[in-house]
Amino acid sequence: MVKSNNSIQSDLGKAKGLGSAHTGTHHWLMQRVTAVASVPLVFWVVYSIFKLQGADYAAFTTWLASPVNAVLSILFVLNSFYHAMLGNQVIIEDYISCRWFRMTKLIGMKLFFIALGVACIFSILKISFAGGM
């Protein structure tokens, strides 16, 4: 049996897939990058929600159809959904010890965010290209 020289991991450990997945740093880094990127977007979103409270359909779609608002909305959706997905992933991994439930929850959570994000972006583009009304 050929054993890698630069690893102290046992063969059984390797076969069971234990140890680092070598993707943790990317997760950590992306969480920070999306966090920093969310700062200006969040200020814009809070201001926008404040301005749009009680807006009717015409007011809301006209607002969303403007290129600046549409682009910032899509950026906010991509950035915050990604950030939320990473954050929820850590919480699930930390608090759910039952393996099959943890896996199911992780995959379900990620698919949920992807589906919701795609639906949001589709809505924004539809309203934007339809020109408001």
Partner 1 sequence: MSEPSQVKQRPLSPHLQVYRLPMTAKMSISHRITGVILTAGLVLLAIWVIAAGLGEDRYNQVMELIDTPYTKYIFVVWAFVLFYHMGNGFRHVLWDIGFGLNEKSAQRTGTLVLLFAAVMTYGVWQLSCGCYKGWFIKAAPMTEEVRAQQGAG
- List residues near partner 1 by CB under 8 A: 32, 35-36, 38-39, 42, 45-46, 49-51, 53-57, 60-61, 64, 73, 77, 80-81, 84, 87-88, 91, 116-117, 119-120, 122-124, 126-127
Tell me the HSE value of 36 on the side-chain side, using a 13 A CA sphere.
5
Closest separation in Å from C-beta 23 to partner 1: 18
Closest separation in Å from C-beta 81 to partner 1: 7
Q: Chain centroid to CA 41: how far?
A: 14
Closest separation in Å from C-beta 102 to partner 1: 16
- Cα–Cα distance measured from residue 46 to residue 52, given in angstroms and rounded to the nearest whole number: 10
Apex 15 CA angle, 11 and 16, nearest 5:
120
Identity of the residue, 57 or 100, whose beta carbon is nearer to partner 1 in the bound complex = 57
Identity of the residue, 11 or 56, whose beta carbon is nearer to partner 1 in the bound complex = 56
- For residue 119, give the H/E element and its range: helix 99-130
Closest separation in Å from C-beta 67 to partner 1: 16
- Cα–Cα distance measured from residue 75 to residue 83, given in angstroms and rounded to the nearest whole number: 12
